[in-house]
Amino acid sequence: MRLLARLLAKLAMLFNLGVAVFLLGLVVLSGGQHNIQLAALPWEGEKLTRYLLGAAIYALAALLLGLGKRHWTRLPMLLWNLALPAVFLLALARSSFSFESQEQIRLGAYWLGASLVALWGSWLHWRAARQGRRAAR
Protein backbone atom coordinates (compact mmCIF):
# COMPACT_ATOMS: atom_id res chain seq x y z
CA MET A 1 0.00 0.00 0.00
CA ARG A 2 2.88 2.38 0.74
CA LEU A 3 4.30 1.84 -2.71
CA LEU A 4 0.94 2.68 -4.31
CA ALA A 5 0.62 5.78 -2.10
CA ARG A 6 4.09 6.98 -3.08
CA LEU A 7 3.44 6.31 -6.75
CA LEU A 8 0.13 8.21 -6.65
CA ALA A 9 1.78 11.07 -4.75
CA LYS A 10 4.48 11.36 -7.43
CA LEU A 11 1.83 11.23 -10.16
CA ALA A 12 -0.10 13.99 -8.37
CA MET A 13 3.04 16.11 -8.26
CA LEU A 14 3.74 15.54 -11.95
CA PHE A 15 0.14 16.37 -12.81
CA ASN A 16 0.34 19.57 -10.75
CA LEU A 17 3.58 20.54 -12.45
CA GLY A 18 2.00 19.94 -15.86
CA VAL A 19 -1.09 22.00 -15.03
CA ALA A 20 1.01 24.83 -13.58
CA VAL A 21 3.29 24.94 -16.62
CA PHE A 22 0.26 24.81 -18.93
CA LEU A 23 -1.45 27.71 -17.14
CA LEU A 24 1.76 29.71 -17.03
CA GLY A 25 2.28 28.99 -20.72
CA LEU A 26 -1.20 30.30 -21.53
CA VAL A 27 -0.45 33.55 -19.73
CA VAL A 28 2.99 33.95 -21.31
CA LEU A 29 1.81 33.10 -24.82
CA SER A 30 -0.98 35.65 -24.57
CA GLY A 31 1.76 38.28 -24.52
CA GLY A 32 -0.10 40.58 -22.17
CA GLN A 33 -2.93 41.00 -24.69
CA HIS A 34 -5.55 39.43 -22.39
CA ASN A 35 -6.93 37.46 -25.33
CA ILE A 36 -7.24 34.04 -23.71
CA GLN A 37 -10.58 32.37 -24.46
CA LEU A 38 -11.70 29.58 -22.13
CA ALA A 39 -15.44 28.99 -22.33
CA ALA A 40 -15.28 26.63 -19.35
CA LEU A 41 -14.36 29.49 -17.00
CA PRO A 42 -16.67 32.37 -16.10
CA TRP A 43 -14.02 35.08 -16.58
CA GLU A 44 -12.55 36.73 -19.65
CA GLY A 45 -10.05 39.39 -20.57
CA GLU A 46 -7.68 40.79 -17.99
CA LYS A 47 -9.47 39.11 -15.08
CA LEU A 48 -9.02 35.66 -16.66
CA THR A 49 -5.32 36.35 -17.31
CA ARG A 50 -4.78 37.39 -13.70
CA TYR A 51 -6.66 34.37 -12.32
CA LEU A 52 -4.71 31.98 -14.54
CA LEU A 53 -1.42 33.55 -13.46
CA GLY A 54 -2.48 33.33 -9.81
CA ALA A 55 -3.54 29.72 -10.24
CA ALA A 56 -0.20 28.83 -11.87
CA ILE A 57 1.76 30.49 -9.06
CA TYR A 58 -0.40 28.78 -6.42
CA ALA A 59 0.05 25.40 -8.13
CA LEU A 60 3.83 25.80 -8.20
CA ALA A 61 3.93 26.96 -4.57
CA ALA A 62 1.67 24.07 -3.53
CA LEU A 63 3.94 21.66 -5.37
CA LEU A 64 7.06 23.00 -3.66
CA LEU A 65 5.36 22.95 -0.26
CA GLY A 66 4.12 19.43 -0.98
CA LEU A 67 7.72 18.26 -1.04
CA GLY A 68 7.94 19.02 2.69
CA LYS A 69 7.72 16.37 5.38
CA ARG A 70 5.05 17.97 7.57
CA HIS A 71 1.36 17.48 6.93
CA TRP A 72 0.55 21.21 7.04
CA THR A 73 3.02 21.88 4.21
CA ARG A 74 1.24 19.30 2.08
CA LEU A 75 -2.21 20.81 2.65
CA PRO A 76 -2.04 23.44 -0.18
CA MET A 77 -1.44 20.68 -2.73
CA LEU A 78 -4.42 18.75 -1.39
CA LEU A 79 -6.60 21.87 -1.64
CA TRP A 80 -5.37 22.58 -5.17
CA ASN A 81 -6.15 19.03 -6.22
CA LEU A 82 -9.58 19.36 -4.65
CA ALA A 83 -10.25 22.53 -6.66
CA LEU A 84 -9.27 21.08 -10.05
CA PRO A 85 -12.02 18.45 -10.38
CA ALA A 86 -14.49 20.99 -8.99
CA VAL A 87 -13.59 23.41 -11.79
CA PHE A 88 -13.93 20.65 -14.38
CA LEU A 89 -17.34 19.62 -13.03
CA LEU A 90 -18.59 23.20 -12.68
CA ALA A 91 -17.61 23.86 -16.30
CA LEU A 92 -20.21 21.32 -17.36
CA ALA A 93 -22.91 23.39 -15.68
CA ARG A 94 -22.05 26.54 -17.64
CA SER A 95 -24.47 27.25 -20.44
CA SER A 96 -21.73 28.83 -22.58
CA PHE A 97 -19.66 25.63 -22.52
CA SER A 98 -20.28 22.68 -24.81
CA PHE A 99 -18.33 19.86 -26.39
CA GLU A 100 -18.09 19.95 -30.17
CA SER A 101 -17.10 16.33 -30.78
CA GLN A 102 -16.74 12.92 -29.19
CA GLU A 103 -12.98 13.49 -29.07
CA GLN A 104 -13.45 16.56 -26.85
CA ILE A 105 -15.73 14.58 -24.53
CA ARG A 106 -13.10 11.84 -24.27
CA LEU A 107 -10.34 14.38 -23.63
CA GLY A 108 -12.46 16.06 -20.96
CA ALA A 109 -13.08 12.69 -19.31
CA TYR A 110 -9.34 12.00 -19.32
CA TRP A 111 -8.62 15.36 -17.69
CA LEU A 112 -11.29 14.78 -15.07
CA GLY A 113 -9.99 11.27 -14.39
CA ALA A 114 -6.41 12.51 -14.11
CA SER A 115 -7.48 15.25 -11.70
CA LEU A 116 -9.32 12.69 -9.54
CA VAL A 117 -6.25 10.43 -9.47
CA ALA A 118 -4.13 13.47 -8.51
CA LEU A 119 -6.62 14.27 -5.75
CA TRP A 120 -6.36 10.71 -4.45
CA GLY A 121 -2.55 10.84 -4.62
CA SER A 122 -2.31 14.17 -2.82
CA TRP A 123 -4.72 12.94 -0.14
CA LEU A 124 -2.57 9.84 0.42
CA HIS A 125 0.54 12.05 0.45
CA TRP A 126 -1.01 14.38 3.04
CA ARG A 127 -2.27 11.47 5.12
CA ALA A 128 1.16 9.77 5.07
CA ALA A 129 2.70 12.82 6.70
CA ARG A 130 0.10 12.72 9.48
CA GLN A 131 0.63 9.01 10.06
CA GLY A 132 4.41 9.45 10.05
CA ARG A 133 4.09 12.09 12.74
CA ARG A 134 1.91 9.81 14.89
CA ALA A 135 4.34 6.90 14.50
CA ALA A 136 7.23 9.11 15.63
CA ARG A 137 5.49 9.84 18.96
**What pLDDT digit, counting tens, does each position of 33-76 carry?**
888 888 888 888 999 999 999 999 999 999 999 998 887 899 99
42: exposed, middle or buried (Cβ count in 10 Å: 0-12, 13-18, 19+): middle
| Domain, as residue range, for 114 | 2-136
As for how many domains the chain has, the answer is 1
- Whole-prediction pTM: 0.86
For the stretch 90-108, pLDDT in tens is: 988 887 788 889 999 999 8
pLDDT of amino acid 103: 94
**What's the Cα-to-Cα distance from 90 to each of 18, 27, 39, 86, 132, rounded to whole Å?**
21, 22, 12, 6, 35
Long-range contacts for 59-68 (Cβ within 8 Å, ≥24 apart)?
A: 59/16, 59/17, 59/19, 59/20, 59/23, 60/17, 60/20, 60/24, 62/16, 63/13, 63/16, 63/17, 63/20, 66/13, 66/16, 66/122, 66/125, 67/13
